Each structure stands twice: as C-alpha cells, then as structure tokens.
Amino acid sequence: MLKAPQFFRKTKYLVVIGLLIIITSFAFSLASNQYTLVGLNSSETPAIVNKTKLLESLFESYKDEYVDPEFHRTIDKQRDGITTSEGQSYTMLRSVWIDDKETFDLSWEWTRNNLQREDKLFSWLWGLKEDGTWGLLDDRGGENVATDADIDIALSLIFAANKWDDNNYLDQAKEIIDSIWEKTVVKINGNYLLLPNDLEKFSEKSYYLINPSYFSPAHFRIFAKYDLNNNWNRLANDSYKYLKAFQELPISSTDNPSLPPNWIIMEKETLELRKSAISDLNTNYGYDALRIPFRVGLDWKWFRTIESKEYLNKFTALSDTLEESNQIFAEYSRDGTPIVNYETKSMYGASIPMLKITNNDSLEDVVNDNILEGFDFDKYDWENQISYYDDNWSWFGLAFYLDRTDNIQ
C-alpha cells in the first residue's frame, strides 16, 4: 500500500504527465492545421478555434438566412429577394469547400432548372416579376450572362467531381467551360480578354465594357487541364496585362490611378480606356473591384505565380489607409482616396489574400477586429445577421486566411 506522501507525489507526476499529453495533443492539432488561435492581438482573451467548425457554423447561419429551404435558391434579401447566378455560384463554392454535398446538389439542381440556358451558360437574374409571377427578370436583362458566376459554377463542378468522385459533375463543367470561351472571350492584338457577359463579344459598339473583377487566372489555369481546345493558360497570363493596364494607365489628364476599377471601357480599335457614362458602372474601387485581390490571391495560393504576388503588392492605397487609420473603407476613387467613411465586411474579407500574401502586419487585427467582429464564439454564430454580400466575402476571406480554399484536384 502506498503511503500518503508517496501517493500524492505519484498523483502530482501523473497530473503533470497528463497536462503534457494534453498540451502536446493540442500542439499537434495546431500543427496539423485543425485549429487556429484568434484574438492574439486584441484586448480580449484569445480563442482556440476549430477551423472547420467555424466555417461550417458560418455557412449554416448563411443557409438559414439566405438559402430557401424548400426551393434551394440563394436569396439576396437586401435586393428585394432576387436570386442571381452569382449567389448560386457562391453557395456551390462554399458547399464544396466544406464538403456539404447535399447543399451543393440542391443548389446546383435549382440553378440548372431555373437559370441554365441552352448554351449551358446561366441567366443572371431571377425574381418576382411585375405580373406577380416568379422567373427571369427579362425587363432587367436577366436572361443575359454574368461571366464571373459562370466561371465559379464551372470551377465548383470540377471540384465536386474530384471531391466526391463523380464524373457527371465534370462532364457538366466541361460544357460550361467550352461555352464560356465561345461566348465571352475575345482576342485583341494577340491578347485574350474575358468579357463580363455574352453581349459584348457580338456587339457592334466601338468599345468593350469590362469588369476586371471577373478575371480569375487561377480558374483559367484549372480550365486548361480539362479543355484542350482553347488557350486558357494564355488567357490567365494575358489577364495580368489587362489588370495592370486598368490599374496604372490614366483615363484622363487629371487621372492618377492606383487601384483597379469596378468597370471600365476599352475602345476596340485604339485600346483607349475611359469610364462609362452609366453611374453604376463606375471606375471606383468598391463593390465589384474588391473581389480582385481574392481571385488573384488564388493564383498565388494554387500556382505560386510571380505575376500574382507582384500584382497584389500594388494595393498600397489599402495598406496605407489601414496603417494610418486602422481601416479599409468600403469604396475608393481610382487614385486611392477613400470616398466613403464607412467599412464593410465584404471589403475586409476580399482584402485578406492581399494582406496575407504581402505579409501585412495588420492581417491578424483585420481578422479579429473586422471580419470576426460580432461573432459569438460561444454560440458559433453572428450576434446579428450580416448582409448577403458581406456574409459571402467575409467567409471567402476567412477561408483563405484559414487555408480552407483548396484547389481540389
């Protein structure tokens, strides 16, 4: 029988050994990329976060708020309950990245039945029509294509085929990819250019309307693996030529650009750049253009291209305001001057790849104080629901930060 002093000594040793096992186990979990620490730079106690649980919980909250449980369409409640091809593509991408096959299949089924056209591309806008019925909003050009959604849908199908070992997804993706090239890619002076819809390529106008945030070199490099008939790798490389031109070349004598535009016009013959006369299609850096760092960031993450990192280093206007005021504002003029005094989670989320890849010292603060502001770690849910667009882009940014935006090949 052990005497009391010996027993306590042995118990103490066992406790110490137990603690060492727990610490070692947790350290292994961190090293194996299962957990992360958030709040290290904040005034609050740091939280130990299960990466998968965090992203899954945020997606469950998103589905509860924005995905119709009966028809499985993604609803933008901030825009009169419409559904866009963009929204469907975001839900499909998020689903495949966190291995939610049921949501993926249901969202894809609704998209296929309600938005997919005979040419395999997708009508962009669906909602309540003036006659009280639901369908494509033709009076707003709803039957036309938004190319960013089409490339995201195609990519999500490729990922689904590889993740769930089902070549039916891949066959469907290949049809979409081929049609994207046929309907939305042009060649100008030897350089390939992706257009934002299926109208621009065949228009008799003297110019092209362009949305740089639709360019995604990483997508194009993956498409090249599955479509050998079209030069997707060349499109990926040429996209950087246009991105740099749109960000650096002035469009007037007073223009001093430092950020890429939401939209821009390029003359077909002279390649002259100018802004659109339509106010919603402006050259500011905001709602549309904010997505560029994420798309370019994927090219670095998946392919380690020199062009991607060089390009992300050009976003000094965002880094400067972050350093000066601890803020990235929701919209900037082309010269990098903030033109609004408020912030959005979408802007912060989409900026995460730029901050991470360029090793910006404020990355952790942005994640903790901006992306995760208002997130309840006890409930693993938002204290107050955020908007459709903020929800998507804060999630994509967080997934990039947590290394959960994999190239599923």
Total number of domains constituting the chain: 1
The 10 Å Cβ neighbour count of residue 364 is: 17
Q: Determine, yes or no, domain membership for 99.
A: yes
The 10 Å Cβ neighbour count of residue 10 is: 11
Q: Determine, yes or no, domain membership for 39.
A: no
Residue 44 has pLDDT above 60, yes or no: no
Whether the model pTM is above 0.85: yes
Give the range among 51-60, 267-276, 307-316 with minimum mean pLDDT.
51-60
Residue 245 has pLDDT above 70, yes or no: yes
H/E segment holding residue 191: strand 191-194
Q: Which residues contact 43 (CB under 8 A, 6 or more apart)?
A: none
Residue span of the structural domain in which 160 resides: 50-401
What distances in angstroms separate CA 321 from CA 118, 169, 184, 190, one per listed residue? 47, 43, 36, 38
Residue 34 has pLDDT above 90, yes or no: no
pLDDT of residue 394: 97
Q: Determine, yes or no, domain membership for 41.
A: no
- Domain of 213, CATH number, reads 1.50.10.10
Q: Determine, yes or no, domain membership for 43.
A: no
Q: Determine, yes or no, domain membership for 388.
A: yes
pLDDT of residue 18: 54
Please give the Cα distance from 212 to 106 (Å, whole number): 30
More confident residue, 198 or 38: 198
Quickly state the pLDDT bin for 9 (edges 50, 70, 90).
Answer: very low
Please give the Cα distance from 280 to 409 (Å, whole number): 38
What percent of the chain lies above the pLDDT cut of 90? 85
Phi, psi of 67 (to 5 degrees): -110, 120
Say which amino acid occupies 91.
T
Q: Do residues 299 and 236 lie in contact, with contact meaning Cβ atoms separated by under 8 Å?
A: yes
Please give the Cα distance from 195 to 121 (Å, whole number): 14
Q: Do residues 194 and 214 lie in contact, with contact meaning Cβ atoms separated by under 8 Å?
A: yes
Quickly state the pLDDT bin for 355 (edges 50, 70, 90).
Answer: very high
The torsion region of residue 374 among left (phi > 0), alpha (psi -120 to 50) and beta comes to: left
What distances in angstroms separate CA 98 from CA 7, 69, 84, 101, 223, one per listed residue? 49, 19, 22, 9, 22
Residues 197-225, mean pLDDT to the nearest whole number: 97
Q: Determine, yes or no, domain membership for 168.
A: yes
pLDDT of residue 19: 53
Q: Determine, yes or no, domain membership for 15.
A: no
Residue 1 has pLDDT above 60, yes or no: no
Please give the Cα distance from 63 to 65 (Å, whole number): 5
Smallest CA-to-CA distance from 396 within 364, 371, 362 is with 371
End-to-end Cα distance, the chain? 61
Read off the DSSP letter of residue 216.
Answer: -
Phi, psi of 232 (to 5 degrees): -65, -35
SS3 176: helix
Q: Determine, yes or no, domain membership for 86.
A: yes
β-pair partners for 375: 382
